[in-house]
Amino acid sequence: MKQWIGERLTALCGCPIGEADDRQVYAALLKLVRELSETKQQPVTGRKLYYISAEFLVGKLLSNNLINLGIYDETRQCLEENGKSLSELEELEPEPSLGNGGLGRLAACFLDSLATLNLPGDGIGLRYHCGLFRQDFRGGVQNETPDRWLTDDSWAQCTETVYPVTMGGKTYAARLYRLPVTGYHGRTNWLNLFDLDTVNEGLIGEGISFDQTKIEENLTLFLYPDDSQEAGRVLRIYQQYLMVSAGAQLILDECAARGCNFHDLDKYAAIQINDTHPSMVIPELIRLLEQRGVEFDEAVQIVTRTCAYTNHTILAEALEKWPRAYLEQVVPQLLPIIEELDTLARSRTEDASTAIVDEKGLVHMAHMDIHFTHSVNGVAALHTQILKDSELANFYALYPEKFNNKTNGITFRRWLLECNPALTQEIAQRIGTGFEQDAGQLERLLPLTEDEEALRRFAAIKAENKVRLADWLRQKQGVQINPQAMFAIQSKRLHEYKRQQLNLLYLIHQYFEIKAGHTPPVPLVSIFGAKAAPAYTIAKDIIHALLTLSQVVANDPETAPWLQIVFVENYNVTVAEKLIPACDLSEQISLASKEASGTGNMKFMLNGALTLGTMDGANVEIAQRVGMENIYIFGQSSEQVIHRYRQGDYCARQWYEADPNIRRAVDFITDEQMCALGHEESLKRLHDELVGKDWFQTLPDFNAYVVRKNQALADYACDSLGWSRKCLINIAKAGYFSSDRTIAEYNRDIWHLG
Please give the positions annotated as active site: 312, 492-493, 498, 599, 603
Interacting residues with ligand 26V between 407 and 436 (CB under 6 A)? 408
Please say which residue, 278 or 598, places its beta carbon nearer to ligand 26V: 598
378 binds ligand 26V (CB under 6 A): no
231 vs 216: CA distance, rounded Å = 14
56 vs 106: CA distance, rounded Å = 8
Member of 218, 377, 597, 638 binding ligand 26V (CB under 6 A) = 597
Torsion angle, CA of 310/314/318/323, rounded to 10 degrees?
80
312 binds ligand 26V (CB under 6 A): yes
- According to DSSP, residue 645 is labeled H
E strands present in 391-515: 403-405, 486-491
133 binds ligand 26V (CB under 6 A): no
Chain mean position to CA 190: 20
318 binds ligand 26V (CB under 6 A): yes
Give the count of residues interacting with ligand 26V (CB under 6 A). 18
106 binds ligand 26V (CB under 6 A): yes
Please say which residue, 510 or 619, places its beta carbon nearer to ligand 26V: 619
Residue environment code for 148-161, b if the CB has 16+ CB neighbours within 10 A, otherwise e? ebbeeebbbeeeeb
Please say which residue, 95 or 616, places its beta carbon nearer to ligand 26V: 616
Please say which residue, 102 or 529, places its beta carbon nearer to ligand 26V: 102
List strands edge to edge, sheet with 486-491: 563-568, 524-529, 486-491, 585-588, 610-613, 632-633
Residue environment code for 299-317, b if the CB has 16+ CB neighbours within 10 A, otherwise e? bbbbbbbbbbbbbbbbeee
Q: Which is it for strands 376-378 and 307-310: parallel, antiparallel or unpaired?
A: parallel
CB-closest chain residue to ligand 26V: 102
Name the one range near ligand 26V by CB under 6 A: 311-319, 422-430, 684-692, 733-741. Answer: 311-319
Provide, rounded to whole angstroms, the least separation between the CB of residue 319 and ligand 26V. Answer: 8
- Reduced to 3 states (helix: H, G, I; strand: E, B; else coil), residue 82 is coil
Please say which residue, 125 or 598, places its beta carbon nearer to ligand 26V: 598
Member of 116, 313, 564, 747 binding ligand 26V (CB under 6 A) = 313
547 binds ligand 26V (CB under 6 A): no
Q: How many CA atoms lie within 13 A of 266 on its CB side?
A: 17
Member of 379, 469, 508, 631 binding ligand 26V (CB under 6 A) = 379
Name the one range near ligand 26V by CB under 6 A: 99-107, 158-166, 211-219, 239-247. Answer: 99-107
Residue 628, Cβ density class (10 Å: 0-12 exposed, 13-18 middle, ≥19 buried): exposed
Member of 6, 59, 99, 101 binding ligand 26V (CB under 6 A) = 101
Name the one range near ligand 26V by CB under 6 A: 290-298, 384-392, 591-599, 736-744. Answer: 591-599
Name the one range near ligand 26V by CB under 6 A: 129-137, 140-148, 342-350, 594-602. Answer: 594-602
Q: What is the contact mask toward ligand 26V in residues 270 to 289, using x (rule: CB under 6 A)?
A: -----x--------------
Please say which residue, 302 or 542, places its beta carbon nearer to ligand 26V: 542
619 vs 516: CA distance, rounded Å = 34
Please say which residue, 323 or 421, places its beta carbon nearer to ligand 26V: 323
596 binds ligand 26V (CB under 6 A): yes
Radius of gyration of the chain (CA): 26
- Reduced to 3 states (helix: H, G, I; strand: E, B; else coil), residue 651 is coil
Alpha-helix residue ranges (DSSP H) falling in 418-499: 421-431, 452-477
Member of 96, 146, 598, 635 binding ligand 26V (CB under 6 A) = 598
Q: Which is it for strands 563-568 and 321-323: parallel, antiparallel or unpaired?
A: unpaired
Q: Is the CB of residue 178 less than 8 Å from the CB of residue 157? A: yes
617 binds ligand 26V (CB under 6 A): yes
225 vs 54: CA distance, rounded Å = 12
Q: Is the CB of residue 683 less than 8 Å from the CB of residue 484? A: no
Applying CB under 6 A, the residues found at the interface with ligand 26V are: 100-103, 106, 224, 275, 312-313, 318, 379, 408, 595-599, 617
